[in-house]
Amino acid sequence: MRKLEIHDIIVASHNAGKVREINDLIAPYGFSAKSAAELNLEEPEETGTTFEENATIKALAAAKTTGLPALSDDSGLCVKALDDAPGVYTADWAEKEDGSGRDFLMAMEKVHKAIEAKETSDKGGYFVAVLCLAWPDGHVEYFRGETHGDIIWPPRGDAGFGYDPIFLPEGHDKTFGEMTAEEKHGWKPGQKDDGLSHRARAFALFARTCLSQDR
């Protein structure tokens, strides 16, 4: 495993919600991070069929363009009754038919209706986050986190982003959409457990593996 010694990195994402959450998690380590969107980097086409493949595409593109290490995230919601769909196509389920952007309320309803059509009592699902740290020389590291829970309806809460309002993590009575950022992550540097959110769990592994302990 290669340690990350440089403080300047690129967050290889154009998703404002993801950039915000990643910046919240790396801030205590003294990083100066700019997003791909801030730098007007071209958004690469995500042609992978796994979270790891898509994360690699984004991180390597940003690292090779900027000459700096880049941290990307590919994440999604997997619903057990739907054979783990939408999975890597989580964002695609939110695309409007006219191509004018994404509508996550529509996407959440699509998930709900798909589960209802299965006529199943299994409402289980889980969020996955895979972080990819890439260097300009092509070296990459992966860090995967998962959070399991249930898909609920109707949506609850307007915090977070994406599918957060319909995801109720195991052992909790609030959806991700009802939690503050601190509650959702449930992790900070030096903490022994890995937190709550899929992204926090992936980041905890990343921090233990690649970050110097004196940061």
CB-neighbour burial class of residue 146 (10 A; exposed 0-12, middle 13-18, buried 19+): middle
Pair 73, 23: CB distance under 8 Å: no
Q: b/e for 35-61, b at 16 or more Cβ within 10 A?
A: bbeeeebeebebeeeebbebbbbbbbb
150 is catalytic: no
Q: Determine the Cα–Cα distance for residues 38 and 54; give it in Å rounded to an integer.
A: 20
Domains of the chain: 8-210 (3.90.950.10)
Work out the pLDDT band at 192, boundaries 50, 70, 90: low
**Amino acid sitting at position 193:** D
pTM of the full structure: 0.89
Residue in this structure with the two tokens 């003294």, named with its chain if needed: 30
136 has pLDDT over 50: yes
pLDDT tier, 133 (very low <50, low <70, confident <90, very high otherwise): very high
Q: Which amino acid is at 25?
A: L
- Per residue in 42-68, pLDDT (tens digit) is 999 999 999 999 999 999 999 999 999
C-alpha triplet 89, 1, 59: angle, nearest 5°: 35
Catalytic, out of 8, 73, 74, 193: 74
